[in-house]
Amino acid sequence: MTIVINMRDGLDERKIKVASRLILEGKLVAFPTETVYGLGADALNERAVRRIFEAKGRPADNPLIIHIASLDDLGKVAREVPEKAKILAERFWPGPLTLVLPKRDEVPLVTTGGLDTVAVRMPAHPIALALIRASTPLAAPSANISGKPSPTSAEHVIDDFYGKIEGIIDGGETWIGVESAVIDLTEEPPFLLRPGGIPLEEIEKVIGPVKVHPAVKGKNADLAKAPGMKYKHYAPNASVVVVEGTPENRRRKIRELVYEYRKKGYRVGVMATFEVEADEFYFLGQTPEEVARNLFKALRELDKRGVDMIIAEGIEEKGVGLAVMNRLRKAAGYNIVKA
């Protein structure tokens, strides 16, 4: 049985108590963060963590992020915190940045996918923080079935997990919309494994040059170091094509493609930053932040409207745009049209 705990009107400590009790019993509770919804369990409870992998259909070697609510918690999971990690935590926590650090023995290998490093972040959502404070550090991947677009509302989580997990906290829509940036600080220079809510430019401003994993920008499954990178990701049921280029060229190309695919008999959906006539259309907004917020919702929504083909507009890889393009290219299985 799944209980849906409504906190759309804000934090409710009495309801947090109900959810934290489930967590401490080893149950699974999905909760909102500022990025996407997480599927949470007690990070130190091996059996509970194992159930996350089962529920998501997630390969066992794809490690989870541990969510903490205080710097004290950091010492419970990380064996060592290098200077640059301290600087990043100080500057960006709570927020959409995940630090990969040497793990303490108390953290089960199930949680870290067999690695002796652990990924940690302090989320900036009041509901997430309250739940962690009332229970324990939470292992939580994005609360989607493995391979599907990440969830930015409780409705998305209900679509994927109703009946399969014990609790879902409905805290309304998340406001960043793409997941946290993941940076490995066990290496020097630090290694960006996944671009995310905190832009690379911001990170480099405080710790200097960062090495960027090749898979951040392009297809590079073989080199995958963040184990999550080698799997199919963010994919809706429809086929996706991403159109990249200058804004004018994108406009022209997208209109051309709509015409061509429709002629072939496809039901075509478009997600873009300008109005396009198609069978279905989803407006992504205009700023990179708006596009990030709408990205996963657009993919899920166009799927629900039953299109066969999604034409998605690419944006510039600046700021959070780097994270957007990383997700979009994966969603498209690297089916990219250069305009």
Residues belonging to the binding site for L-threonine are 35, 67, 121, 140, 142, 180
Q: Choose the binding region for ligand TXA from 178-186, 240-248, 289-297, 326-334 (rule: CB under 6 A).
A: 178-186
* CB nearer ligand TXA, residue 161 or residue 261: 161
Contact at 8 Å (CB) between 326 and 231? no
Q: How many residues bind ligand TXA (CB under 6 A)?
A: 28
Q: What are the Cα distances from residue 226, in Å, to 44, 220, 223?
A: 21, 11, 9
CA-based nearest residue to 325, from 258, 252, 245: 245
Residue 123 CA to residue 87 CA, distance in Å, equals 17
Q: From Mg ion, ligand TXA, none, which one binds at residue 118 (CB under 5 to 8 Å depending on kind)?
A: ligand TXA
Joined tokens for residue 151: 């969830």
Q: Choose the binding region for Mg ion from 112-120, 142-150, 291-299, 303-311 (rule: CB under 5 A).
A: 142-150
Residue 277 CA to residue 244 CA, distance in Å, equals 19
Encoded amino acid at 129, one letter: L
Smallest distance from Mg ion to CB 197, Å:
13
Indicate which single residue of 7, 27, 29, 35 sits in contact with ligand TXA (rule: CB under 6 A).
35
How many Cβ atoms sit within 10 Å of the Cβ of residue 220? 15
- 3-state class of 147 per DSSP? coil
Indicate which single residue of 98, 111, 142, 174 sits in contact with Mg ion (rule: CB under 5 A).
142
Q: What is the DSSP annotation of 93-108?
A: -SSSEEEEEEBPTTS-
Q: From Mg ion, ligand TXA, none, which one binds at residue 302 (CB under 5 to 8 Å depending on kind)?
A: none
- Mention every residue, 6+ apart, whose C-beta is less than 8 A from residue 214: 220, 223
End-to-end CA distance of the chain: 49
Q: Does 98 bind Mg ion (CB under 5 A)?
A: no
Q: Does 117 bind ligand TXA (CB under 6 A)?
A: yes
Smallest distance from Mg ion to CB 175, Å:
18
Q: Which residue is nearest to Mg ion (CB)?
A: 142
Phi/psi at 237 (nearest 5 deg)? Answer: -75, -35
Q: Does 117 bind Mg ion (CB under 5 A)?
A: no
* CB nearer ligand TXA, residue 176 or residue 258: 176
Indicate which single residue of 45, 135, 136, 142 sits in contact with ligand TXA (rule: CB under 6 A).
142
CA-based nearest residue to 113, from 1, 218, 226, 200: 226
Indicate which single residue of 112, 135, 152, 326 sits in contact with ligand TXA (rule: CB under 6 A).
112
Q: From Mg ion, ligand TXA, none, which one binds at residue 35 (CB under 5 to 8 Å depending on kind)?
A: ligand TXA
Q: Which residue is nearest to ligand TXA (CB)?
A: 228
Contact at 8 Å (CB) between 140 and 38? yes
Binding to ligand TXA in span 38-97, by CB under 6 A: 38, 62-65, 96
Contact at 8 Å (CB) between 172 and 8? yes
Q: Which residues bind ligand TXA (CB under 6 A)?
A: 33, 35-36, 38, 62-65, 96, 98, 100, 112, 115, 117-119, 123, 140-142, 179-180, 182, 193-194, 226-228
Q: Which residues bind Mg ion (CB under 5 A)?
A: 142
